[in-house]
């Protein structure tokens, strides 16, 4: 999920370059084509089949079954693959990516979402950005390490997650597995990336080191209902609608910490115009009202300086000729680090200001701690990125969305996300129609994860 890149939309542009043609790139492209063909969204039951494909491909590349573990979980599954290290005293390193996707309706897309299409310098298909490029990159790294016959000093463990887009159930199972528990740190392929300017310059590369807490609240309005020919002054749908409009108009308090100020200041120095100036001013003084007003005029910027809540789903009524007895909506919140989920729920109750509307927390949201940047990891990421984009600034950032890193950090495994992808903000269609990735960014990602496996694994 690379939500941070969206904050530069309409400011930056870049065009893709020619695709690479190394043997491992051709192999990776073939793997991506197969991966995209799996409709690995919740409810379709195709993740286990995708696991079978990945296992067969790695087995054909010489990975023994003893170094692969499948963990079934409800309709989905996880896969863990181990590349044993030579130093038994060294703690393992985890690489992670998720196989599942947000579903796509073929009738809504201009192209078949479950068939890889290369067109105009882009790969199109559900998951090419989120996160099947990361899956292909991990597979490619494993196969290249195996083919090279070299053994890393540290054991490398690759976790293929089956339900990141829904419950994180398989992520928790991976984090608790004997091969992963006690890992020194993790590299997540599902976030982090670079931004290009219109002239092709790499403006900045961002490494995810923290995430906002993901929490969804259910708002429910109830009513005795009745016949639609006899309208009554109280109506569950109207009551819920008024509550949602109040939430729409609410602004949570501005917040900042040393980490967020550092990355917003770094970002501001490469973003042109008033937005860049506001980012720099906010980083210097989070109470700067003019900077806050500028950033909050775009909802994306509001997400970087405060908790945000937005209605995402609604359901009401039971018959077209009956007054609604129930109206329900889901409000999804991205909570600034350090703010308790219950505090946000209570704030929503105050905003709604209607005791007849229930506000309930769904699931069991997890608070996400910050993974302070680690010099050797940041140096390895920078070397890999700058091999293809010399001189690009590399900085940590706070993710507005949620990834598997949330689970790993809560399990005591510091996690940094780095995809290796450079992409125009206007090309980010993860979770949306006609998801795409520049062809050259796909091949860069393939090499980036291999670079990190070699550098961090040690020789």
- Going from N- to C-terminal start, the domains of the chain cover 3-210+369-457, 213-361
388-407 pLDDT, tens digit each: 999 999 999 888 878 999 99
Q: What is the pLDDT of residue 302?
A: 76
Q: What is the pLDDT of residue 112?
A: 97
15-59 pLDDT, tens digit each: 333 446 799 999 999 999 999 999 999 999 999 999 999 999 999
Instruction: Say which CATH class 213-361 falls into.
Output: alpha beta
Which residues of the chain are modeled with pLDDT < 70?
A: 1-20, 198, 200, 300
Q: What is the pLDDT of residue 15?
A: 33
Q: Please name which of 302, 293, 290, 371 lies closest in space to residue 334, comparing C-alpha atoms.
A: 302
Q: What is the pLDDT of residue 132?
A: 98
Question: What CATH number labels 3-210+369-457?
Answer: 3.40.630.10
């Amino acid at each position: 999920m690379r939500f941070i890149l969206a904050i530069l939309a309409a400011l930056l542009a870049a065009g893709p370059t020619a695709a690479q043609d190394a043997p491992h790139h051709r192999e990776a492209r073939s793997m991506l084509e197969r991966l995209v063909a799996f409709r690995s969204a919740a409810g379709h039951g195709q993740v286990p089949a995708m696991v079978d494909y990945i296992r067969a491909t790695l087995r054909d590349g010489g990975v023994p079954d003893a170094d692969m573990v499948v963990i079934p979980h409800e309709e989905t599954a996880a896969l863990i693959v181990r590349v044993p290290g030579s130093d038994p005293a060294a703690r393992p390193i985890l690489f992670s990516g998720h196989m599942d996707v947000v579903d796509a309706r073929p009738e809504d897309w201009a192209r078949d979402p479950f068939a890889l299409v290369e067109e105009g310098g882009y790969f199109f298909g559900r998951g090419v950005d989120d996160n099947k490029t990361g899956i292909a990159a991990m597979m490619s790294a494993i196969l290249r390490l195996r083919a090279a016959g070299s053994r890393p000093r540290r054991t490398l463990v690759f976790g293929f997650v089956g339900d990141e887009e829904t419950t994180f159930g398989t992520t928790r199972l991976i984090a608790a597995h004997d091969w992963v528990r006690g890992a020194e740190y993790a590299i997540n392929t599902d976030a982090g990336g670079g931004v290009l300017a219109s002239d092709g310059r790499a403006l900045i590369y961002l490494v995810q080191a923290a995430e906002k807490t993901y929490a969804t609240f259910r708002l429910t309005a109830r009513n005795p209902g009745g016949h639609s020919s006899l309208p009554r002054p109280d109506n569950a749908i109207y009551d819920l609608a008024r509550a949602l409009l109040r939430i729409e108009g609410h602004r949570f308090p501005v917040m900042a910490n040393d980490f967020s100020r550092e990355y917003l200041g770094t970002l501001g120095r490469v973003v042109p115009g008033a937005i860049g100036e506001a980012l720099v001013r906010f980083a210097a003084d989070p109470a700067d009202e003019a900077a806050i007003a500028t950033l909050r005029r775009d909802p994306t910027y509001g997400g970087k300086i405060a908790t945000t809540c937005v209605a995402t789903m609604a359901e009401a009524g039971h018959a077209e000729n009956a007054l609604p007895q129930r109206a329900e909506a889901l409000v999804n919140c991205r909570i600034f680090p350090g703010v308790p989920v219950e505090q946000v729920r209570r704030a929503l109750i105050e905003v709604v200001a209607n005791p007849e509307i229930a506000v309930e927390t769904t699931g069991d949201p997890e608070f996400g701690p910050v993974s302070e940047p680690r010099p050797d990891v940041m140096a390895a990421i920078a070397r890999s990125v700058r091999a293809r984009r010399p001189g690009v600034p590399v900085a940590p950032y706070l993710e507005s969305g949620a990834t598997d890193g949330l689970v790993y950090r809560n399990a005591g495994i510091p996690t940094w996300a780095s995809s290796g992808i450079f992409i125009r903000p206007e090309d980010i269609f993860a979770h949306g129609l006609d998801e795409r990735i520049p062809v050259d960014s796909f091949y860069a990602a393939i090499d980036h994860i291999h670079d990190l496996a070699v550098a961090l694994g040690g020789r």
